[in-house]
Amino acid sequence: MSKKTHYTEVINILQELHADFPTYNLGRHLATALADYGDIWGITDKELAFALSKYKSEIEMDVPHTDDSELEKIIKEGHYVFALDIRISSLQAIEENIDAAEKMRYGYAALDVTDEKAFADVLDSAQQKFGRIDCLINNAGVMTTPFMKTDDGFEFQNGVNHLGHFALVAQLFDLLKSTKDSRLVIVSSIAHKRGEINLDNYMFENEKEYTPMKSYSQSKLSNLLFMYELNRRMKDKNVNVKVMAAHPGVSRTELTRYMLNPIVAKLMLPLFWIFTQSAKRGAQPQIRAAVDSNVNSGEYYGPSGFNEMKGRAVLVKAEPKAHHEKHAKELWDLSEKLTSVKFDI
């Protein structure tokens, strides 16, 4: 594999991955596919995030999945790795298996995107270890959960899918600004089309109004409102960071585990298979937004097929309500207030 790979070659890498590669985790597909690109990569996932940097040698892509042993291999082959995981013990174990020179290329921190208090520690670790971040992909997400709250008291879906990412980007934004040609990719969903922003009851303080899909679609519309508003504010200040959004279509991942009971899911499996795509394919729009040299700030990528459910990664259109500037500004102000994070453009 060449050290510099085009987007189309990354797609080939994804398609050639081992048949046993888990189909349920977009974060791992993203991390594995992007390992060849160098620079500092941040990929947030509910339980897993990576930052992969400056490689010196080729990476073989024939492993079943990007597990701890694969991260160790990437370090030994010359990459710089900054790993974030909700389970820090596994990251500490990697440090015990590498030599002193390799430890200079390895950093790690515990991170749960529902815990905003942990972001400062992540920022300090990233700054001290590498001092830069070339691309941050906000991939963490939950879908149609029962009503529950994060440790910070936020309704779970909007807390994880929007507020957690808003606060994380705000904390890391100085690093993105100071890194030449940096990119930010915010992962949304076709569910944003059903979304409505209710700023008076954004956290569903009135639980009677809560439905799992109403909350999820609001959070995904929030992702796009945030992306477009951030792009506008950066243009006004001449900030040279590209921000894009992408969505995976309808992918076969564990994200849908709350939607159907196991019996119904089994009965619907053949139909579900026809209208969905694998997590490998679902990762392609995010990868294209992260690496394609022709991508422009403020663009939105998704699958090319019917209703954007599956297909090739192409430029797609968000619903007009995602471009609503008044709602975007109000959501920005509310997000700063709720997270107590000041977003300095």
Query: Is the distance from CB of 210 to CB of 310 less than 8 angstroms?
Result: no
Distance CA 224, CA 198 (A): 15
**What letters, b where the CB count within 10 A reaches 16 and e where it falls short, cover 291-326?**
bbeebebbbbbbbeeeebbbbebebbebeeebebee
Query: Which residue stretches of 179-261 are H helix?
Result: 212-237
Query: Is the distance from CB of 316 to CB of 300 less than 8 angstroms?
Result: yes
Residue 135: name the closest of 340, 286, 331 by CA.
Answer: 286
- Residue 108: count other Cβ atoms within 10 Å of its Cβ: 21
183 Cβ partners below 8 Å, 6+ apart? 134, 135, 136, 241, 242, 243, 244, 289, 290
55 part of the active site: no
172 Cβ partners below 8 Å, 6+ apart? 42, 122, 123, 126, 133, 136
Phi, psi angles (nearest 5°) of residue 41: -110, 130
Dihedral Cα 245, 220, 141, 16, nearest 10 deg: -40
Question: Helices H, strands E: what count in the chain?
Answer: 13, 9
**What letters, b where the CB count within 10 A reaches 16 and e where it falls short, cover 137-151?**
bbbbbbbbeeeeebe
Strands (E), the chain: 41-44, 48-53, 80-85, 106-110, 135-138, 183-187, 242-246, 300-303, 313-315
Rg of the chain over all Cα atoms, to the nearest angstrom? 19
- Which member of 106, 202, 216, 301 is catalytic? 216
- The residues annotated as belonging to the active site are 216
